[in-house]
Amino acid sequence: MNNRVYGLARVSSKDQNLERQIKSLIENGCDERFIFVEKQSGKDFNRDQYLILKNALRENDLLVIKSIDRLGRNYNMIINEWRDITLNIKADIKVIDMPLLDTTQHKDLLGNFISDLILQVLSYVAEQERTFIKQRQREGIDIAKTKGVKFGRKRIERPTGWIDVIKRWKNNEITAREAMKLLDLKQSTFYKLVSEDK
């Protein structure tokens, strides 16, 4: 059986585009049939497509990814996955945007050391950048709140006659359906407002 070249393309949300990654993977020897595509956060490795891909990997197969953050976001998890794939499965990994992270090259002790070192540095930098992004977001939200910006869902205004109609409904003078009709509310909105009033 010939060794296979697999690709992994991942974006974090459904509205992001994968075309650039897929094009790059094909240009680096991936058959489109063996490219696994994910539109999911890389916060961990419990992702359906990734798990199928990892299960398919065999000794001397090659996993190609565009950049290290396409594999995942968590520093320690990336290191663990890298070692599991390269040491336990004995497959190779190639990171297109970082030629030093290519286990098909320099398969000696020094090559492994350099690859491991670069991987750890890059993973650390990526994780630090995510920490800074979260910190900047938090600071931005705090500043906006001090300026009176409101976050979260807007409170739904009670329609005219709300108090009287709800009182009649609670006293079993009218049904919920009649109350909704009098207030011109959908069922979901009606019960949402009732629960907010409790």
pLDDT tens profile 6-59? 999 998 887 788 899 999 999 999 999 999 999 888 888 889 999 999 999 999
pLDDT of residue 33: 93
Residue of 12, 24, 115, 123 marked active site? 12
Q: What is the DSSP string of the chain?
A: -PPPEEEEEEESSTTS--HHHHHHHHHTT--GGGEEEEES--SSS--HHHHHHHHH--TT-EEEESSHHHH-S-HHHHHHHHHIIIIII--EEEETT-TTSBTTS--SHHHHHHHHHHHHHHHHHHHHHHHHHHHHHHHHHHHHHHTT---SPPPPPPPTTHHHHHHHHHTTSS-HHHHHHHHT--HHHHHHHHHHH-
Of residues 197 and 147, more confidence is placed in: 147
Q: Is the pLDDT of residue 87 over 90?
A: no
24 is an active site residue? no
Please state whether the predicted TM-score (pTM) of the whole model is above 0.85. Answer: no
